Amino acid sequence: MSDSYLRFANRPFGKFLCSSLGLPVPPVLQRAGDKPWLLVDNIAIEQAAGGLFTAAITSVLGDNETNNANERSNGVVFDASGIENSTALSALYQTLSARISTLNRNAKVVIIGIEPSTLNDVKKRTAQRALLGFVKSLAKELGRKGATANLIYATTDSDSAIAAPLSFFCSKRNVYVTGQVVSVQRADAGANEVEKPLAGKLALVTGATQGIGLAMAKTLRRDGATVIGLDIPGQESGLKTAMNECGGETLALDISSDGAGSAIAEHLGARQLDIIVHNAGVTRDKMLSRMQPQQWDMLMNINLCAIEAVNDYLLSNDLIANGGRIIGVSSISGIAGNVGQTNYATSKAGVIGMVEGLKAPLAQKNITINAVAPGFIETKMTGAVPFLTRQMGRRVCSLSQGGLPIDVAETVAMFAAPQAQGLSGNVLRVCGQNILGA
């Protein structure tokens, strides 16, 4: 559903009226379009003394960087890894406060620091943890300009692993992830095939008939993957139509049924999956005191238990390839909770627990696991939300608008990329820095 308020607020009279009344004027976001692999140009690179990652940053940005401090830019990447104590945080203030006024609309700001949990020096750990508060606050300041600010925590030996999140955060693929942090560790990343990074890969997307799932299928196909779209038998006709749009295969299957794993295996034949995206899910909202057992059981079976069962089957039968990707779909409700969603929030918090719990054992198989946590995304489901609730859902984020299914899909594609081997155990919110649990 289109956002009529956003369109009105960005017309001359609408902008005047909304500004006069103190109402938000949502920025017009510039998405990637038909060249998603391109980085924004004219990005400034800055560093604190002793930065470890500046060379790696330069290798990612290439010809897109600028070093003219007086020139307007489309982004800033700041290597904060050299900040050793709280006093040295002033370098962050001095550099970014001077740069902010020269940033264009829809600019990208990325801070790169050292993963605090890996540091034994308490003063350095304190300073590095402080970066998160800086980024979250800066993202809220920049939201009115449609700009994003994000943080990458890396280990001291993971300079090559920052390529995937850095290139994502510095491109127009990302317009709705802001105020967030990802952690990377040392890994042997795959080759950087820019236009078709997933060529030769086989991906399974559950709940792929429409909305976010269809956007994921199309985006993975755009990046070169062969896609298997899975949905319940009742959606088979729509699923076939959807998969025809992206040249994908169709698998009509209730993911929560007994034997779902073996049915997937039968469809695969001699093949292995390189990517599985657990997108299928339902809502059955009700206050806990009025919730019926079937509203709890059905939702939990689909949203969480089925994911665990399918993962167990595929992993135990070696059906996920070496270097594979498991990507879950959580929700901001699973992070912060929501009224009337004890069942849904429980299932989505469980997805986060699964990501955290499987990170270490899957690393032994060279498989990564991550999740996205969407906020208010413009879909048919949110289009059915009452008008005032829908407007509130759109406005209570730093960007004052809902996201689009492509915003979630682009984040999934980043986790799926060969360069993302150093990303595992992350839950990345795609919510425009929604105030709910932000």
Query: Which domain CATH number covers 392?
Result: 3.40.50.720
Burial of 282 (0-12, 13-18, 19+ CB in 10 A): middle
pLDDT band at 160 (very low <50, low <70, confident <90, very high): confident
Residue where a domain stops, chosen among 134, 150, 184: 184
* 320-331 residues labelled b (16+ CB within 10 A) or e (exposed): bbebbbbbbbbb
Residue 26 domain flag: no
Contact call for residues 161 and 52 (beta carbons, < 8 A): no
Do residues 277 and 424 both lie within one domain? yes
Q: Write down the pLDDT at residue 128.
A: 98
Residue 196 domain flag: no
Q: What is the dihedral of CA 61, 186, 132, 42, to 10 degrees?
A: 0
In angstroms, the CA 60 to CA 53 distance is 11
Contact call for residues 329 and 372 (beta carbons, < 8 A): yes
Q: Write down the pLDDT at residue 193.
A: 67
**Does 159 score more than 90 pLDDT?**
no
Residue 368 domain flag: yes
Q: Write down the pLDDT at residue 267.
A: 98
Compute the average pLDDT of residues 142-151: 96
Contact call for residues 15 and 25 (beta carbons, < 8 A): yes
Question: Which runs of consecutive H residues, i.e. helices, occur in 143-209?
Answer: 163-169
Average per-residue pLDDT for the chain = 93
Do residues 155 and 215 both lie within one domain? no
Contact call for residues 193 and 165 (beta carbons, < 8 A): no
Catalytic residue among 5, 153, 176, 344: 344
Do residues 179 and 292 both lie within one domain? no
Do residues 242 and 163 both lie within one domain? no
In angstroms, the CA 99 to CA 43 distance is 11
Burial of 311 (0-12, 13-18, 19+ CB in 10 A): buried
Q: Write down the pLDDT at residue 438.
A: 63
Report the percentage of the chain scoring pLDDT > 90. Answer: 80
Contact call for residues 422 and 187 (beta carbons, < 8 A): yes
Q: Where are the beta strands (DSSP E) in 21-147?
A: 43-47, 65-66, 73-79, 103-114
CA 209 to chain centre: 21
Q: Write down the pLDDT at residue 192.
A: 64
Residue 153 domain flag: yes
Nearest of 296, 282, 272 to residue 232 by alpha carbon: 282
Do residues 222 and 369 both lie within one domain? yes
Host domain of residue 171: 31-184
Do residues 85 and 35 both lie within one domain? yes
pLDDT band at 437 (very low <50, low <70, confident <90, very high): confident
Do residues 160 and 308 both lie within one domain? no
Compute the average pLDDT of residues 127-131: 98
Residue 374 domain flag: yes
Residue where a domain stops, chosen among 140, 157, 184: 184
3-class DSSP state for residue 175?
coil
Residue 25 domain flag: no
- The residues pairing with 150 across neighbouring beta strands, listed in sequence order, are 110
Residue 15 domain flag: no
**Does 22 score more than 70 pLDDT?**
yes
Do residues 262 and 410 both lie within one domain? yes
- Report the residue count for the chain: 438
Q: Tens digits of per-residue pLDDT, 380-422?
A: 777 766 777 788 888 889 999 999 999 999 999 999 999 999 9
In angstroms, the CA 215 to CA 422 distance is 25
3-class DSSP state for residue 335?
helix
Q: Write down the pLDDT at residue 353.
A: 98
Contact call for residues 293 and 336 (beta carbons, < 8 A): no
Do residues 371 and 239 both lie within one domain? yes
To which H or E segment does residue 312 belong?
Answer: helix 306-316
Report the percentage of the chain scoring pLDDT > 70. Answer: 96
Q: Indicate the range of 76-90, 135-149, 210-224, 389-403 predicted with least confidence.
A: 389-403
Contact call for residues 120 and 159 (beta carbons, < 8 A): no
Q: What is the dihedral of CA 40, 44, 49, 51, to 10 degrees?
A: 20
Burial of 295 (0-12, 13-18, 19+ CB in 10 A): middle
Q: Tens digits of per-residue pLDDT, 108-123?
A: 999 999 999 999 999 9
- The residues pairing with 66 across neighbouring beta strands, listed in sequence order, are 44
Do residues 158 and 252 both lie within one domain? no
Residue where a domain stops, chosen among 184, 218, 233: 184
User: Which structure tokens are listed for 243?
Assistant: 């998969």
Q: Is 344 a catalytic residue?
A: yes
Do residues 36 and 178 both lie within one domain? yes
Q: Indicate the range of 140-144, 211-215, 297-301, 383-387 predicted with least confidence.
A: 383-387
In angstroms, the CA 363 to CA 237 distance is 38
Question: Which runs of consecutive H residues, i.e. helices, occur in 10-62?
Answer: 12-20, 54-61
**Does 67 score more than 70 pLDDT?**
no
Q: Tens digits of per-residue pLDDT, 303-349?
A: 999 999 999 999 999 999 999 999 999 999 999 988 889 999 999 99
Q: How many domains does the chain have?
A: 2
Q: Write down the pLDDT at residue 65.
A: 65
Hunting for tokens 């390529």 — which residue is that? 163
Do residues 53 and 121 both lie within one domain? yes
Q: Write down the pLDDT at residue 69.
A: 60
Q: Write down the pLDDT at residue 189.
A: 64
Q: Write down the pLDDT at residue 88.
A: 97
Burial of 286 (0-12, 13-18, 19+ CB in 10 A): middle
In angstroms, the CA 79 to CA 8 distance is 39
Q: Write down the pLDDT at residue 338.
A: 87
Residue 409 domain flag: yes
Q: Where are the beta strands (DSSP E) in 64-209?
A: 65-66, 73-79, 103-114, 148-154, 181-184, 202-206
Q: Tens digits of per-residue pLDDT, 208-233?
A: 999 999 999 999 999 999 999 999 99
Helices (H) and strands (E) in the chain, counts: 16, 13
More confident residue, 438 or 19: 19
